[in-house]
Structure 1
Amino acid sequence: MRILIYGLNYAPELTGTGKYTAEMAEALAHGGHEVRVVCAPPYYPEWKVGEGYASWLHRFETRKGVRLWRAPLWVPKKPSGAKRMLHLASFALTSLPALAMHALWRPHIVMTIAPSLANAPGALALARITGARSWLHIQDFEVDAAFDLGLLKNARAARTALAFERWLMKRFDVVSSISDKMVERAVAKGVALARSFHLPNWVDTTAIYPIDGPSAFRRELRIGEHAKVVLYSGNMGAKQGLEILADAAAALAARDDIVFVFCGNGATKAALQKRCANLRNTRFLSLQPIERLNELLNLADIHVLPQRGDVADLVMPSKLTGMFASARAVVAMAHPGTELYEAVSGRGVVIEPESVGALTDAIAMLVRHPDLRARYGEEGRLFAQERLSPHSVFARLEERLKSLIGDAADTRASDAADLAIVRMGDHAPILTQIEKVE
């Protein structure tokens, strides 16, 4: 099959949508498909275009068997609601020439990734022109989240945006998302059940696994052997609600046996560091390279997954997969009945969002009970091995792609099981050709 993936984020971004889009594209290419990607230069979560990537030039590169067309975009230094909209619109506009170039290539599948939904009209247009099947994959319901977070407040704009979202989604041949609850939300927005598909994020449990002995990060951060580490690793943005975790660190500041480690970058990191400036029980790390991810996740005695209550049912955090695979206990904030609640229940501790007291109680309880931490860790890793492996996820994706186009395309694909041997998450840059795309 010829598969075109159209999305804002891509490797070498280490977190979020870019990581998963790249791994999916590489797995499909390894399986024998011809895969091309139209994306932006790396900028997330630092909100700064990566070194070596010009902001206003089109660029072509080949990376692990996938041909990439990178279109320029505007990246605000301090993203806000209006600035984010302009940021997304800039990529949707500048990427159109790169998208249009592929009309002559005639892809069998045009897949667009949300966020950003601003890409969806272009993807639909290309699919209609070329006779390709259209696929929308939703990592985040960005319209719902934007209004719930207060990034956009105008009621008329909300109704317009939601109506446009529903109109778009109903026109794709397949609409997929990363959890059952998010698929249900898509159906509630008007997507036909037969066109919906559950495509969860995955984790390579051969790359993320429990290590023997203390993590090297413990020594680097000067954390004593007796102390238990509470780790947050990921994007530091508005929807994470990290101020709750900072308040929990303040509440437990008198204890010398609990240390909080914040690892990542993002729009709220500076404010978080300022909030924790006088707390001796906190440490900060920048986003770590992929080759140190397993060491980082093994630093934790307890992983924490804070979320604001107003978005707790809108997203299924991708970082949960690595937490489970590391075989460490997890404390997550989620409402009953959400996918996150059901995923963590029985494999960790679930508390109501935005409750500092509940968070400190959960952490203190797990510190007191090492046997319970170990049991939760074992259950989480078993779940990752059985439900979130690349082999099982990509085998289902391969099957749906084939059924979508039927016998019209020469798939040239090897057995789906071959996809499992792809080394997921290894995004060391491999640039075999660079040139301007006119």
Structure 2
Amino acid sequence: MRILIYGINYSPELIGIGKYTGEMGAWLAQQNQEVDVITAMPYYPEWAVHTSHKRKGWHTERIAGVRVHRCPLYVPRDVTALKRILHEFSFVLSSLVFWLRIFFAKRYDVVICVAPPFHLGLVPTIYSKIRRVPLWCHIQDLQIDMAKELGMIKNRHFLQTMFRVESHILKQSRVVSTISEGMVRKVALKKGIQSGCVLFPNWVDGAYIKPLPPTQSLRAELGLQPSDKVVLYAGNLGEKQGLEIIIQAARAFVSQPDVKFLFFGTGGGQGKLETLAREYALANVKFYPLQPYEKLSALLATADIHLVLQKKSASDLVLPSKLTGILAAGGFALVSAVPGTTLHDVVHHHQMGVLIEPESAEALKTAIDQALLSDLTGFRLNARKYAENYLNKEKTLSNFMQELLSVVGLPSPAFRTASSPSKVLKEDFADREMDSEKEKISLE
């Protein structure tokens, strides 16, 4: 197949959408597919173009067998709603340099558009119509819904316009996919994409990210003592997570110097968090940069407690991608989630973490207290088991490949035959639901 992937984030970004899109592109190339990508200069989550790509214009490079067409874009230092809109539109305009060539020079078998930004699908829908190519829209975050719920955009008319544009793109797509059951329900019911919305979850390489003993962690490198208890948050330090409560919880442990709160990451909210830690003179809070992928297992093994936090208003609009690595590493997680959401239900059913009320520093403090005094072995074993059974990279991407073959109409003896564009991922989703119910019964 000739596959075109269009998205603002791609490898070598270490976390978030870029990580998964990059792994997807590389995996497809390994299956002897011809893969092209139109994307931006790498900038996330630092919100600064990586040193390797600074002062570069439009160019093409090869990453893991994939032709990656890079476009310059505006990257704001201070991320506001308006600046983010300008940032995203600058990429759309910049990417037209490659799109104009493609419109007249090359016909792909399928175009995969990765959102957010939601409006990236506008150009692919035109290409899809003109060249009669199926369009697959994959949603990692329900961006407009989240901007509305978090109060990032308050203008009602502007929101309505964005929802109409989003609806047009989704209805023009042959397949719409997203990463959790709750998000599938929202897209199907709230956005009216009932016949073509499928589950395409994020994954983890369980052979690479795995449980390690403390001696192979980063504890020695960080100067930690064997007796230290580590509460870890690793990932994007953004606004949708509500991370200020970690600083508030850390204040309650200043009298226990062996309890350390470590942040690994960067993002738009980092400055605010560092300022709060300085104002409270918290010696038990430390900030570190993102670690390379090669160190991820060692980083995850450093923690006694992992934090997976998000605001109430972001429930079922995003699914924290960091959780896949924590589960594969057999980590114990404190997860803030609202009952009835996918995140809450999955963690509860599989007993692979402790659930707490979102945006509550008191609930977080209490849960940390209890976890530090408890035997967490059962949670850790369940976490690893879930990753092995449901987050397997090879199985997830093989099902996705079959879906692509079905959409394009190219059968392959290496995969199961599907009779409809959404059958394979729906079958896998049903299998997971059935297994989940069996495990739930056995736990009860």
Assess same fold via TM > 0.5: yes
What does residue 17 of structure 1 align with? 17
- Following superposition, the deviation at residue 55 of structure 1 comes to 5.1
Aligned equivalent of 1:421? none
Large movers: runs of 4+ above 4 Å: none
Shift of 1:219: 2.2
Shift of 1:392: 1.3
Say if 2:186 is the partner of 1:181: no
Aligned mates of 1:415, 1:403 — CA distance in 2:
13
Q: TM-score, normalised by structure 2?
A: 0.90
The residue aligned with 1:74 is 74
1:302-355 Cα shifts (integer Å, max 9, x gaps) = 111111111123111111000101111110000001111112221110111011
Range that drifts further, 95-104 or 344-353: 95-104
Q: Of the candidates 309, 314, 338, which is equivalent to residue 306 of structure 1?
A: 309
CA distance in 2, matches of 1:155, 1:264: 34
Q: Which ranges in structure 1 are unaligned for 5 or more consecutive residues?
A: 418-438
Choose which of 339, 345, 359 in structure 2 pairs with 1:354.
359
Deviations 1:401-433 (A, max 9, x none): 1111114xxx7x78369xxxxxxxxxxxxxxxx
> Which residue of the partner structure matches residue 47 of structure 2?
47
For 2:321, the equivalent position in structure 1 comes to 318
> What is aligned with 2:425?
none
Partner of 2:248: 247
- SS in structure 1 at match of 2:359: coil
In structure 2, the residue matched to 1:158 is 159
Other-structure match for 1:367: 372
The equivalent of 1:339 in structure 2 is: 342
Cross-structure match for 1:380: 383
CA contact (8 A) 2:308 2:336 kept: yes
Counterpart code for 1:66: V
Matches within 5 A, 1:251-270: 251-270=252-271
SS at match of 1:107: coil
- Structure 1, 248-257 or 33-42: larger mean CA deviation: 248-257
| Separation in structure 2 between the aligned mates of residue 192 and residue 311 of structure 1, nearest angstrom | 21
Structure with the bigger RCO (C-alpha within 8 Å, sep 6+) is 1
User: Which segment is superposed worse, 102-111 or 328-337?
Assistant: 102-111
The aligned counterpart of 2:288 is 285
Shift of the 191–24 alpha-carbon distance from structure 1 to 2, 3 Å rule, reads farther
Counterparts of 1:79-118 in structure 2, within 5 Å, are: 79-103=79-103, 104-118=105-119
Amino acid in structure 1 at the alignment position of 2:288 = L
Tell me, in whole angstroms, the C-alpha distance in 1 between the residues paired with 2:246 and 2:160. Answer: 34
Where 1:304 maps in the other structure, the secondary structure is strand
| Aligned twin of 1:64 | 64
TM-score when scaled to structure 1? 0.91
What RMSD in Å do the two structures reach over aligned CA positions?
1.6
Distance in 2, matches of 1:96 and 1:265, equals: 30
Given that 1:9 and 1:39 are in contact with CA atoms closer than 8 Å, whether structure 2 keeps it comes out as yes
Give the alignment partner of residue 389 of structure 1, picking from 376, 388, 392: 392
Does the residue aligned with 2:195 lie in a helix, a strand or coil?
helix
Matched with 1:201 is 202
Q: 1:414 to 1:57 in 2, by over 3 A?
A: farther
CA distance, structure 2, for counterparts of residue 292 and residue 353 of structure 1 = 29
Letter in 2 for 1:314: L
Given residue 31 of structure 1, which amino acid in structure 2 is its aligned partner? Answer: Q
Cα shift readout 1:148-185 (whole Å, capped 9, x = no counterpart): 22221112212222222222211111000000111111
Q: Is this contact kept in 2: 1:55–1:73, CA < 8 A?
A: no
For residue 129 of structure 1, report the CA deviation from its aligned partner.
Answer: 1.6
The residue identity in structure 1 corresponding to 2:371 is L
Aligned to 2:4: 4
Residue 77 of structure 2 aligns to a residue in which SS?
coil
CA 145–376 in structure 1, closer or farther in 2 if over 3 Å, else same: same
Q: Secondary structure of 1:234's partner?
A: strand
Q: Distance in 1 between matches of 2:214 and 2:252?
A: 29
Show the counterpart of 1:274. Answer: 275
Q: Deviations over 1:26-59 (max 9, x none)?
A: 1111112111100001001111111131456101
Question: Is there any run of 5+ residues in structure 2 with no aligned partner, and where?
Answer: 417-444
What is the percent sequence identity of the aligned residues?
Answer: 39
SS class of match (2:232): strand
Q: Bigger CA drift: 185-194 or 276-285?
A: 185-194
For residue 290 of structure 1, what is the amino acid of its counterpart? Y
Shift of 1:251: 1.8
